[in-house]
Amino acid sequence: MPLEISAARPDPALLDLPWSIPLEEWPQDLLAALPRGISRHVVRFARLSGSVIAIKEIKADIARREFQMLRQLGRLDQPCVEPLGVVTGRTDAAGEPLDACLITRHLQFSLPYRVVFSQHLREDTAVRLLDALAVLLVRLHLVGYWWGDVSLSNTLFRRDAGAFAAYLVDAETGELHEQLTDGQRAHDIDIAQVNIAGEFMDLEASGVLPEGLDPVVMAQDIVTRYETLWHELTEDEWFDSGETWRVDQRIRRLNAQGFDVDELAIATDLDGTRIRIQPKVVDAGHHSRRLLRLTGLDVEENQARRLLNDLDSYTAATERQGEDEEIVAHDWLNRIYEPTVRAVPAELRGRLESAEIFHEVLEHRWFMAERLGHDIDIREALDDYLRHVLPGKPEERSVIDEERSS
């Protein structure tokens, strides 16, 4: 059969690559010297049109299936490599058939786990690596993806402000379902535990595993991390109508684990209110862009996250989840945010910018509610904050001027 290249966005330069040569024999001048992880297949990085692609040599039916699976996961906004195409119908110079090739875009700044560990990492760094893998597995399970071969080897890691972000790189064994059963999730976890224990044992034998880390304990640890995170993300929570501050508490726990709240689903019965949080991990700058679009407030990213969390809590407390988001945001701006910042006396407004003051009032209200065990009205929290907290802050403008003059 003739050579066939199936691609999402075909690049004519693909035709110039030596598909008639087995991948392991490709000339060095075509290849990019990037670190590769352990794979059961031949994998090479090649330069193409100013970028780098990863090429994996596998059977044609597996290549097509994995290509489609990666495309589906990408449409679901899951962290995985980007599929570019499949090459089939390859033959060598003697006319003998060669395996097909799956082409993906190289994930910039990503590293296989062995390369990460070869840099003599501390014990806590190994823990963060497992945290990243647990988050990845939870995210995939939430959209109904059964991995089937969970391992560090099938994952790429990117450094992320002292932590790591994990990406799926091998989807040939995976299956996508409408929803996973507990048995399917447990099967994936069992696979992960066995594979990760073996991988850590290999690292230990190579002398690159940090001292004090037990491969078996580390493998069990990812099970604990996964189960904790899964419970936090999916468990229903009941509370009395006067304890809506616990919504904010739940959001804080999710934020601390790298998840941002995209939706609060509320169900009410005679005894209380049922809260189910649907998490969504969002990209950098998402919060400030979303807040600017909804309210016109142009603030820093962390401030925007805090204000949006309060907007979400306001939406839930007023039972307006089905309404247009911009209308609810406008009401929140007029009824909550602006009255709060306008209530600050003129002589105290130079202490902090408005968004930071509002953030601190929310923090103050949360701590008051946690201490007292019931909801606190924002006006009550504001009055207490203006009496006991804000007057003790230095003038922000004078602090900036001092720094500039020093």
Last residue of a domain, one of 108, 134, 151: 108
In angstroms, the CA 203 to CA 125 distance is: 14
The helix (H) or strand (E) run that includes residue 308 is: helix 301-317
Give the pLDDT confidence score for residue 404 in this predicted structure.
Answer: 39
Give the pLDDT confidence score for residue 350 in this predicted structure.
Answer: 75
Q: Counting Cβ atoms within 10 Å, is residue 217 exposed (0-12), middle (13-18) or buried (19+)?
A: exposed
| Segment 30-58, tens digit of pLDDT | 888 765 656 678 999 998 888 889 999 99
Confidence of residue 364 (pLDDT cuts 50, 70, 90): very high
Going edge to edge, which strands form the sheet with 110-111? 110-111, 155-160, 163-168
Whose CA is closest to 22, among 60, 74, 67, 57? 57
> What integer is the mean pLDDT of 142-163?
83
Last residue of a domain, one of 108, 126, 144: 108
User: For the chain, what percent of residues have pLDDT higher than 90?
Assistant: 37
DSSP 81: P
User: For the chain, what percent of residues have pLDDT higher than 70?
Assistant: 81
Same domain membership, residue 182 and residue 154:
yes
| Segment 189-203, tens digit of pLDDT | 999 999 999 999 988
Same domain membership, residue 343 and residue 245:
yes
Same domain membership, residue 150 and residue 250:
no
Confidence of residue 332 (pLDDT cuts 50, 70, 90): very high
Question: For helices 325-332 and 301-317, what crossing angle results, to 10°?
Answer: 100
Whose CA is closest to 305, among 231, 355, 354? 355
Give the pLDDT confidence score for residue 25 in this predicted structure.
Answer: 93
| Segment 230-242, tens digit of pLDDT | 887 777 766 666 6
Confidence of residue 397 (pLDDT cuts 50, 70, 90): very low
User: Average per-residue pLDDT in the chain?
Assistant: 82
Same domain membership, residue 259 and residue 217:
no
Give the pLDDT confidence score for residue 271 in this predicted structure.
Answer: 53
Q: What is each CA distance from 9 to 79, 187, 306, 375, in whole angstroms?
A: 20, 36, 39, 54
Same domain membership, residue 316 and residue 198:
no
Last residue of a domain, one of 73, 108, 143: 108
Same domain membership, residue 115 and residue 104:
no
Whole-structure pTM value? 0.64
Give the pLDDT confidence score for residue 401 in this predicted structure.
Answer: 41
Give the pLDDT confidence score for residue 241 in this predicted structure.
Answer: 60
Same domain membership, residue 268 and residue 173:
no
Confidence of residue 127 (pLDDT cuts 50, 70, 90): confident
Give the pLDDT confidence score for residue 209 in this predicted structure.
Answer: 81
Which structural domain range is residue 144 located in? 111-233
| Segment 371-380, tens digit of pLDDT | 888 888 899 9
**CATH number of residue 134's parent domain:** 1.10.510.10
Same domain membership, residue 81 and residue 19:
yes
| Segment 161-186, tens digit of pLDDT | 455 778 999 999 999 999 999 999 99
Confidence of residue 283 (pLDDT cuts 50, 70, 90): very low
Question: For helices 286-295 and 325-332, what crossing angle results, to 10°?
Answer: 80
Give the pLDDT confidence score for residue 256 in this predicted structure.
Answer: 67
| Lowest-confidence region among 95-104, 160-169, 265-274 | 265-274
**CATH number of residue 49's parent domain:** 3.30.200
In angstroms, the CA 225 to CA 342 distance is: 44
Give the pLDDT confidence score for residue 356 in this predicted structure.
Answer: 86
Give the pLDDT confidence score for residue 402 in this predicted structure.
Answer: 40
Same domain membership, residue 214 and residue 363:
no
Same domain membership, residue 83 and residue 134:
no
Give the pLDDT confidence score for residue 273 in this predicted structure.
Answer: 52
Q: Total domain count for the chain?
A: 3
Same domain membership, residue 386 and residue 265:
yes
Give the pLDDT confidence score for residue 405 in this predicted structure.
Answer: 41
Give the pLDDT confidence score for residue 159 in this predicted structure.
Answer: 67
| Lowest-confidence region among 39-43, 293-297, 339-343, 380-384 | 39-43
3-class state of residue 392 by DSSP? helix
Same domain membership, residue 228 and residue 145:
yes
| Segment 15-34, tens digit of pLDDT | 889 999 999 999 988 888 76
Per-residue pLDDT at 109 exceeds 50: yes
More confident residue, 382 or 248: 382
